[in-house]
Chain A
Amino acid sequence: MRLQLTSLARVLGRSVRGPARSARAAGAAAFALASALGAGPLASTARAQVAEVDTAHTLYHEAPTRTNMTVYTPGVDAAATPADWITVRGGYEADIVSGASVATKAGSAYQSVNPGVDVITTASVKDFRHAPRGGFTLRKGDVAYTASYTYGTENDYKSHSIFVGARTDAYEHNTQFEISYARNFDSVCDRVQAAGDTPPRFRALEDSSGCFTNDPLRRRRPLSIDGLQASWTQAWTPTFATQLVYTAQLIDGFQSNAYRSIIVAQGLKAQEHHPDVRVRQALALRLNWYVRPIKVALRLTGRAYRDTWDVTSGTGELEAERYLVEGLRLAARGRFYRQTGALFWSDDYTGGDPPLGPKGQYFTGDRELSPFWSIGLGARVTYLIHPTPKPEGGTSRLLGIFTNAKLGASVDAIQFSYDEYTLAGVPITNARAYIIGATAGAAF
């Protein structure tokens, strides 16, 4: 069906111009597709319909201290099921990004030695990403096999992503197992560094001009992502089900933000330098319980995460959803998240008392690698429209065309609180993100 938000993630990664997030999002894209394939109320009737079309639009905005970012992501997907055993699909998505991100990062220790100097710089960000995609699902009995491909292109990043997955039912359809694998073959634009220079003397990429051309001042940095996901969904009672999801990901290649510089010593700034390899694992447990007396579906999620950069995190989510009238659902949700910083995170590599100071050979200005917590609140409304059945039988259609249709809208606000991250000693305020989404779909 759709994975339009995968590119939103890519773009949000771009918002800080960081291939690491680009990689993460690209890897996530495949699993988002896996989740969407054969999913949802429209898909549940896929075998009774010939085709469906979905469109989704998302607007993301944040404006913390000295930076801002707005991302608009339109997308459209179409799927056809010419026979029970096969569904083919294709889609296109774009990301339109504008804003300003931190180009040079320093902390409080540097600022205390250089009072009055405004060392922090920002750079405007404007980008346009195109991402066509296609795939198919084959079904035989209780098993479905899916394969897909996504190509992403923008000024400074190219991505080829393949995905394969399988899903089966067991124990009289009370159990579903799903396993999938995704592989990305990506390229990141970087500048050519002076011969003999080492990372503390590397200079950041000024802009994307000349990227992926024969420009002698530009080079391609490879980035590969292997992702594995396995899930077990279980119905325990007529109103209670659980889902266990395990995800592993191996990222190998250039994961730094090519545009960002870090003050690593007095008078010395260098391009951000992250390790090349990162292995990530996450385990999530979801409980879904329909409370009959109040006619509310409650979803509780707990997630634990750990990676080889020593980032650990825990997430708790609670969502409640109920029907207001037939077909119209309203959901409210809350979320709490807490993470530790990466092993090499420091708000200031030039000195100061712990936790400031140098942290080995790597350095970063990425606030997503710093310790912080966040809390989010949101709501979603979904309207699923089915035509009134004909008294004489046969297929009913909305407006004489659609077998069903769906409209959706959502709004979320997330507040971030950073324990250590500062801009030259100035804490980040207004670290609040707003996400507005709208979706529409119809089946023929």
Chain B
Amino acid sequence: MEAHSRSTLPLAILAVALAFAAGCVTVKPQQRSVLADPIMQFEGDPQASAQLRHAIDNREGSYGGGGVAGGGCGCN
């Protein structure tokens, strides 16, 4: 348990640091046409993606980490 905590703590710190660093990133609204396109959505077709993911989940011993909708354009 302790070893597990040691291994996850740096990852958690890195994720938080990156989240704050993300504030320095600026993609202007007029530059978001590609990000807003359906082809750049993480769940490009939410229905189809959900179908496949859950079908697979039920043939495997693991679960979680599924995609979340949106392409990072803040336009959904």
Interface residues of A (CB under 8 A from B): 1-6, 8-9, 12-13, 15, 21, 24-25, 27-28, 31-32, 34-41, 43-44, 54, 56, 58, 60, 73, 142, 169-176, 178, 229, 231-239, 241-249, 280-284, 286, 288, 290, 297, 299, 301, 303, 305, 307, 309, 311, 313, 315, 321-323, 329, 331, 335, 337, 339, 341-342, 368-369, 374, 376, 378, 380, 382, 384, 408, 410, 412, 414, 416, 433, 435, 437, 439, 441
Contact = CB atoms under 8 A, between A and B. Distances in A.
Contact of A35 (B27, B36, B46): B46
A3 B50 contact: yes
B33 to A, nearest CB: 8
Contact of A435 (B36, B52, B65, B72): B52
A233 B61 contact: no
A1 B58 contact: no
A237 B38 contact: no
A36 to B, nearest CB: 5
B23 interface: yes
15 contacts: A4-B50, A36-B43, A40-B46, A171-B23, A174-B22, A174-B25, A238-B32, A281-B64, A286-B67, A297-B44, A299-B44, A305-B65, A341-B61, A382-B48, A437-B48
Nearest to A36: B46
Which of B36, B59, B66 has the most CB atoms of chain A within a 10 A radius of its CB?
A: B59
Interface string B50-75: 11111111111111111111111111
B47 A439 contact: yes
Contact of A247 (B34, B45, B66, B75): B66
A284 B61 contact: no
Given A238-B35, A280-B63, A435-B51, A288 B45 contact: no
B51 A56 contact: yes
B68 A178 contact: yes
B5 interface: no
B45 to A, nearest CB: 5
Interface residues of B, number: 54
A244 B54 contact: no
B50 A35 contact: yes
A322 B39 contact: yes
Interface of B: 11, 15, 19, 22-23, 25-27, 29, 31-36, 38-76
B54 to A, nearest CB: 3
B14 to A, nearest CB: 10
Given A244-B15, A247-B64, A439-B45, A329 B38 contact: yes
A345 to B, nearest CB: 9
Contacts of B51: 4-5, 8, 56, 58, 73, 410, 435, 437
B49 to A, nearest CB: 8
A193 B39 CA distance: 54
Contacts of A38: 69, 76
Contacts of A286: 42, 67
Given A5-B53, A245-B67, A410-B48, 8 more contacts: A5-B47, A9-B58, A28-B64, A40-B41, A174-B25, A242-B72, A290-B34, A368-B59
Given A235-B35, A245-B66, A337 B60 contact: yes
A173 B74 CA distance: 5
Which of B33, B39, B71, B75 has the most CB atoms of chain A within a 10 A radius of its CB?
A: B39
B17 to A, nearest CB: 12
Contact of B72 (A44, A233, A323, A378): A233
Contacts of B63: 24, 27-28, 247, 249, 280, 282, 305
Closest 10 CB pairs of A and B: A173-B74, A39-B69, A247-B64, A282-B64, A284-B65, A241-B72, A9-B54, A235-B72, A5-B51, A12-B58
A305 B62 contact: yes
A441 B33 CA distance: 23
B61 A174 contact: no
